[in-house]
Amino acid sequence: MPPSFPEIELEDVPCPLGCAAGDDVVLIGHDRLQGLPGKFGVVRCRGCALMRTNPRPAPSSIGAYYLPEYGPYLGTRITSETDGPRPLWRRMARQVFPFNAERLPPLKPGRMLEVGCASGAFMHRMAARGWEVEGIEFSPEAAAYPRRLGYPVHSGSLETAPSPAAPYDLVVAWMTLEHLHDPVLGLRKLRGWTRSGGWLVASVPNAGALEFRVFKDAWYALHLPNHLYHFTPKTLGRLLGRAGWRLDRIFHQRMLGNLVGSLGYRLRDRGCPLRLTQPLIDFPEKGRVGHLALFPVAGLLGLFGQTGRMTIWARPIDD
């Protein structure tokens, strides 16, 4: 925790889909990833079933929960490992073990926007494939990394980002939509910035999976308070439709990182020592070989939508 954690302004917000019904409290949790202070509730709208963090840090305060050491920023830095073509063994592994984590439609290179580009590794890989890339990143420290390589990155939220000079063929948002304060506004902006026939590809945690109901406040992908919304396939489809997108396909990711990390959190809550629980908590981001070993089980669970993360493809609804 920083030496002097700032006072956090909380806001109480209604369902973004305009439902008139009230909410049911699902759970109360805290920041497990960074250990920062605060208790936060997750509620479910009685009208549409969309879950959201409420009350939540206001836009003026949420930055306190995105430290420079925030995991996604560190894991997406452009390094010697991410620069240039991937090793042959890694390319072959992706063919044999399709995790669906960054699955894209078959497209020729064009203009691409990455929302929540973090430190730029994915943008860098797509640029190497011939794409003209741009990014939006909330953290100025993280945005500085791709900017040093000449990639245009807006430092700020999607809700405040300016319009592009030309429409995009592809918009990607890896584990980003759940962070938006106003997802309807943000997705409508992206719809307006995408050419007719273009694509939105996004990944989000799947709160419709059994692991969410089993682990509840210890669910690895809960990630309070940074995750402001907690989607199921149905509620994400409703949200996309309200914002001008048609959900085209859902790919359940063939990875069990959430499950292993959640087990680590729950065992820690029950007093198990750090030396036993920390490897489990680190597994989702660092367990490369483990993900390969668990792929057969993850593939089977993915058939039933039970792997805890999903990648979606969406198309603009014609005006």
* Contact yes or no for 282/74 (Cβ under 8 A): no
* Residue 209 domain-assigned (yes or no): yes
Task: Name the phi and psi angles at 253, rounded to 5.
Answer: -65, 140
Q: What is the pLDDT of residue 159?
A: 86
Residue 132, burial from CB neighbour count under 10 angstroms (0-12, 13-18, 19+): middle
* Residue 192 domain-assigned (yes or no): yes
pLDDT digits (tens, 9 = 90+) for 116-143: 998 899 999 999 999 999 999 998 888 9
Strand 10-11 and strand 56-57: the pairing is antiparallel
Task: Name the phi and psi angles at 132, rounded to 5.
Answer: -90, 110
Determine which of 44-53, 80-89, 104-113, 246-255 has the lowest per-residue pLDDT on average. Answer: 80-89
CA distance 117 to 122: 7
Handedness of CA 136, 5, 224, 159 (dihedral sign): negative
* Residue 24 domain-assigned (yes or no): no
Computed over its alpha carbons, how large is the radius of gyration of the chain? 19
* Residue 115 domain-assigned (yes or no): yes
**Domain span at 285:** 66-316
DSSP 40: E
Tally of domains within the chain? 1
pTM of the shown model = 0.92
* Residue 23 domain-assigned (yes or no): no
* Residue 39 domain-assigned (yes or no): no
Which CATH number do you get for residue 96?
3.40.50.150
Torsion of CA 67, 201, 239, 194, to 10 degrees: 100
* Residue 196 domain-assigned (yes or no): yes
* Residue 31 domain-assigned (yes or no): no
